[in-house]
Amino acid sequence: METFQTSLPPTELNGHSKSARPLPLPPVQQPESILTTWQQYAQQEEDLSLRNLLSTIRRRAWIIAGVGAVVMTFFTVKALQQEKVFRGQFRMLVEPVNASDDLSDLTSILATQNTRRSGLDYATQVQVLRSPELMEPVLEELQQTYPTLSYPTLLRNLQISRPGETKILEVSYLGSDPVQIQVVLDFLAQTYLEYSLKERQTNLRQGINFVESQLPDLQARVDTLQDQLEAFRRQANFITPETQSGSVTQQAGEIASQRMALNQQQREAEQAFSSLQETSGALATLENAPIYQQLLGEMRAIEVRIAEELTRFEPGSLPIRVLEEQRENILPLLNQEAQRVMSAEQAAAINRLEMLAAQNEILEDVEQTGFERLNALPSLIREYTDLQRELEVSTAALTRFRSTQQSLAIEAAQTEIPWQIIEAPTQPKNPISPDLERSLLTGMVISVLLGLGAALLLEKLDNVYHTVDELKAATKLPLLGALPTNQTLKDSRTPGRSGLAKIADRVSRIPQSLPSAFGRQSIGYGYGGNSDSSFLEALRVLYTNIRMLSSDQPIRSILLSSAQPAEGKSTIAANLAQVATAMGQRVLIVDIDLRKPQVHDRLDIPNEVGLSNLITDSLPLKAALQQVNPEGSLFAITAGKIPPDSTKLLSSHKMQQLMATFEKSFDLVIYDSTPITGLADVSLVGQQTDGLVLITRMGVTDRTVLKQTIETLKLSRIPILGVVANGVKATGLSGYRYYAYGYGRDANGHHDEVISFGTPATEHSANGHGANGHGANGNGSVS
């Protein structure tokens, strides 16, 4: 494979990582620092939401104004056309307020037995006062003066209420004629006073007599049930169902616990007995036998002496035979002791099993007795419950009858007192409706709320990003740059100089901008005085942020792509390559969009031989490599002939070899790819680069498609370096602050330092250094 020689030493491909460089871990924070960080984060989230709301209001101002104007006009017209409504009223005292008249002391004494605080049921009384029995005579009198007045109209305009917890009834009447209102109220007041004097006497005395006749029978019934309940408790040794159930349940629980413990002991005894029958269990038992261990120790000592003597004497010599005889004498004793110990242990295990079996039988008898008590408990509880329920019903009835007797006596005493008019009916003078000021205020509030609601609804239905804040919050990716819309780039496809060169020419003619497109006498961030310098500075910030993503090893290759077509990725790739070249880098831009290539149009170079020819025809690299600028620092490989199957070429081994050669030969390789949605081209190439830069266009990129795209990249394990917001308007950057620094000219033509403030195109990068922290000079170094 041919390698394009450069002045830089080649970097070994195996030592060049193909994944995003991990960021350094932050130091361990103290709890106070963590709390402060969390508070700052919460404050930032609150500010972000407020900025998004204000941005939405600015974008939808015409919608808010239109909806507000329509609603406000409706409320104004309605208020002006509404008929005037008057309201008259009078008040009646329906219960006495002093202690000498209404027996209030007696009422307070019986408050615990009588749930009503007053002798009058106000809700029922109001319905009686509105009933046809009282209203029809009033209506007949009124119709002589006002024939058109009907019963439904009278009831609809009549309102009777009780102010708070007072003993007053307030009667009001609504209408358009103040004189008619006063006439109606006068008739109603007279009718209600007559009702209070003539019709309120009821058969309370008959009710009192009935209650007194029932009280002796109820008292006898309660006494009988109490005697039966006491006899049942003595006979069944029964206190309450809860106490009895708790006692039986506790006993059953204790028996169950003892049964579990006994079963556990029995299993352990059986296991111990079984282990004695096995060799391992026998050995474990003999290890705890002192006499056996003593004999075993003597035998081992003799065997040790035999081994020592064998080093000195022959196997059949006298010392050896003496030691062997001693060992033979100890061996029977050792066997006898082992049998004795094992017999004793087995006997002890058998005795323990028999004892546990006897305990188990005793426990079964106790458990059977508990079960019998438990089985009999439901019938006892039911009998007790029946008696208790009958006693409660009889006691409640007795209490209710006594309370009713006292209430009826109090109410009978109070019915002698008539109602009093404490506020006489008067003719109303001022209408209560319409209230123009209140209607206009209400219309203003509702119009603002409906306008905001309509704006927020449209914003919710609008499935694109409008601000950088929205993009950052949705993607959770580092914002590498925010590029403003530039009119000059629309002419970049015409023959001649590239769009960025035209921008540089225009910027060089601005006194407070750069003298050249890529001069080293300018450091800038964000938006400057015009769109050309703003776009140029935004590209420098984007390149600087990409460089500072990794501090351990420089980024040598990046892939530029977007979720959808027409988001400006090819334009950004071409102009980013020129910015990197101006900062002292040898750059290669490769058009891997073999479906709809754009790089040759952006750089104004031919597309006769390109990447597809290098892969399919095995041409040398120089055949497709094109020098873009005269300085020889920017090169490009166009897409070439469009193949029938681009995925086959991009997934080939030849493509991987070419990518490795590119990275060895250039400081930075920029790949311009196809959109990600619906195509596999990015997945085939992305893992061979240092990372992907995702281009999004404000007001164009679909939110759902972008989220799906990010998920696709994560599944493909393609490192995402960050996101670039393209086509950002001046209002799309919300509250980000920035400054721009450069050289201008004074009145004598000399250069002066110029600092301007405004809104930046980006913020801090992922490693804590952002566009506001460092710039890049003309040589590409960070200053």
Classify residue 4 by burial, with Cβ atoms within 10 Å: 0-12, 13-18, 19+.
Answer: middle
pLDDT computed for residue 343 by the predictor: 78
pLDDT computed for residue 588 by the predictor: 95
Cα 15 to Cα 80: distance, rounded to the nearest angstrom: 83
Q: Which two tokens stand for residue 111?
A: 């408050």
Query: Is the dihedral angle over the CA atoms 276, 281, 285, 286 positive or is it negative?
Result: positive
Closest CA to 103 of 119, 82, 89: 119
Classify residue 326 by burial, with Cβ atoms within 10 Å: 0-12, 13-18, 19+.
Answer: middle
Say which DSSP state 433 is in. Answer: B
How much of the chain, in percent, has pLDDT values that exceed 70? 73
Angle ∠(19,20,24) on CA atoms, nearest 5: 130
Distance of CA 648 to the CA centre of its chain: 44
Inter-residue contact 525 to 533 (CB < 8 Å) = no
Q: Which two tokens stand for residue 516?
A: 């050249």
Pairing of strands 751-758, 168-175: unpaired
Pairing of strands 158-161, 168-175: antiparallel
pLDDT tens readout for residues 178-226: 898 989 999 999 888 888 876 655 556 677 778 878 888 888 888 888 8
Residue 505 above 70 pLDDT? Answer: no
How many residues make up the chain in this entry? 783
Give the pLDDT band (50/70/90) at residue 731. low
Q: Residues near 350 by Cβ (< 8 Å), separated by ≥ 6? A: 273
Residue 103 above 80 pLDDT? Answer: no
Inter-residue contact 771 to 537 (CB < 8 Å) = no
pLDDT computed for residue 332 by the predictor: 85
pLDDT computed for residue 758 by the predictor: 36
Closest CA to 5 of 666, 736, 739: 666
Higher per-residue pLDDT: 11 or 435: 435
Helix axes 290-310, 318-414, angle to 10 degrees: 150
For 521-544, letters b (16+ CB in 10 Å) and e give ebbbbbbbbebbbbbbbbbbbbbb
User: Poorest-confidence range of 334-338, 662-666, 724-728?
Assistant: 334-338
DSSP-H helix ranges across 731-772: none
Give the pLDDT band (50/70/90) at residue 488. low
pLDDT computed for residue 205 by the predictor: 64
Give the pLDDT band (50/70/90) at residue 722. very high
Angle ∠(77,82,84) on CA atoms, nearest 5: 145
Residue 578 above 60 pLDDT? Answer: yes
Cα 296 to Cα 757: distance, rounded to the nearest angstrom: 97
Distance of CA 531 to the CA centre of its chain: 40
pLDDT computed for residue 516 by the predictor: 35
Range among 316-330, 354-368, 507-521, 550-564 with highest mean pLDDT value:
550-564
Q: Which helix (H) or strand (E) holds 122?
A: helix 122-129
Cα 216 to Cα 470: distance, rounded to the nearest angstrom: 82
Cα 759 to Cα 777: distance, rounded to the nearest angstrom: 21
Q: State which amino acid sits at residue 298.
A: E
Q: State which amino acid sits at residue 518.
A: F
Residue 363 above 50 pLDDT? Answer: yes
Q: Which two tokens stand for residue 292?
A: 């056996």
pLDDT computed for residue 271 by the predictor: 74
Measured CA to CA in angstroms, residue 42 lies from 166, 387, 610, 765 at distances of 51, 64, 52, 20
Q: Which two tokens stand for residue 483?
A: 């590029």
Measured CA to CA in angstroms, residue 556 lies from 584, 613, 766 at distances of 14, 24, 18
Measured CA to CA in angstroms, residue 253 lies from 250, 368, 370, 418, 478 at distances of 5, 13, 10, 70, 63
Report residue 399: phi and psi, to 5°: -65, -40
Residue 452 above 50 pLDDT? Answer: yes
Higher per-residue pLDDT: 480 or 551: 480
Residue 782 above 70 pLDDT? Answer: no
Higher per-residue pLDDT: 748 or 441: 441
Cα 62 to Cα 622: distance, rounded to the nearest angstrom: 58
Inter-residue contact 406 to 113 (CB < 8 Å) = yes
Residue 77 above 50 pLDDT? Answer: yes
Say which DSSP state 12 is in. Answer: P
Residue 113 above 60 pLDDT? Answer: no
Say which DSSP state 740 is in. Answer: E
Output the 3-class SS for 30-58. CHHHHHHHHHHHHHHHHHHHHHHHHHHHH
Query: Is the dihedral angle over the CA atoms 97, 103, 109, 114 positive or is it negative?
Result: negative
Give the pLDDT band (50/70/90) at residue 745. very low
Inter-residue contact 732 to 468 (CB < 8 Å) = yes
Average pLDDT over residues 509-522: 36
Pairing of strands 86-93, 168-175: antiparallel
Inter-residue contact 398 to 217 (CB < 8 Å) = no
pLDDT computed for residue 587 by the predictor: 95
User: Poorest-confidence range of 236-245, 312-321, 456-465, 673-682?
Assistant: 236-245
Inter-residue contact 523 to 742 (CB < 8 Å) = yes
Cα 250 to Cα 721: distance, rounded to the nearest angstrom: 68
The label of the residue with tokens 């988001």 reads: 567
Closest CA to 579 of 375, 343, 777: 777
Cα 770 to Cα 782: distance, rounded to the nearest angstrom: 12
For 238-277, letters b (16+ CB in 10 Å) and e give beebeebeeebeebeeebeeeeeebeebbeebeebbebbe
pLDDT tens readout for residues 608-657: 999 999 999 888 889 999 999 888 899 999 999 999 988 899 999 999 99
pLDDT computed for residue 108 by the predictor: 47
Closest CA to 623 of 632, 635, 633, 688: 635
DSSP-H helix ranges across 583-728: 599-603, 611-616, 621-624, 646-650, 653-665, 681-685, 703-715
Higher per-residue pLDDT: 95 or 665: 665
Cα 116 to Cα 104: distance, rounded to the nearest angstrom: 13
Cα 171 to Cα 546: distance, rounded to the nearest angstrom: 80
Cα 524 to Cα 413: distance, rounded to the nearest angstrom: 96
Give the pLDDT band (50/70/90) at residue 511. very low
pTM of the predicted model as reported, rounded to 2 decimal places: 0.45
pLDDT tens readout for residues 16-48: 334 444 443 444 445 555 556 556 556 655 665
User: Poorest-confidence range of 72-76, 407-411, 620-624, 708-712?
Assistant: 407-411
Classify residue 351 by burial, with Cβ atoms within 10 Å: 0-12, 13-18, 19+.
Answer: exposed
Higher per-residue pLDDT: 728 or 370: 728
Higher per-residue pLDDT: 352 or 20: 352
Closest CA to 408 of 213, 103, 119: 119
pLDDT tens readout for residues 276-303: 676 766 777 777 778 877 878 888 888 8
Cα 408 to Cα 146: distance, rounded to the nearest angstrom: 43
Cα 722 to Cα 478: distance, rounded to the nearest angstrom: 5
Q: What is the side-by-side strand order in the sheet with 420-423?
A: 158-161, 168-175, 86-93, 420-423
Inter-residue contact 94 to 414 (CB < 8 Å) = no
Q: Which two tokens stand for residue 560?
A: 């530029």
Give the pLDDT band (50/70/90) at residue 672. very high
Higher per-residue pLDDT: 732 or 185: 185
Q: Which helix (H) or strand (E) holds 745?
A: strand 738-745
Higher per-residue pLDDT: 89 or 366: 89
Strand boundaries in 499-586, DSSP class E:
557-562
Average pLDDT over residues 166-186: 90
pLDDT computed for residue 501 by the predictor: 56
Inter-residue contact 274 to 281 (CB < 8 Å) = yes
Give the pLDDT band (50/70/90) at residue 503. low
Strand partners, 590: 637, 671
Average pLDDT over residues 705-729: 89
Report residue 672: phi and psi, to 5°: -100, 115
Average pLDDT over the chain reads 75
Residue 661 above 80 pLDDT? Answer: yes
Give the pLDDT band (50/70/90) at residue 721. very high
Output the 3-class SS for 307-353. HHHHCCCCCCCHHHHHHHHHHHHHHHHHHHHHHHHHHHHHHHHHHHH
Q: Which two tokens stand for residue 618?
A: 């095995």
Report residue 774: phi and psi, to 5°: -140, 155
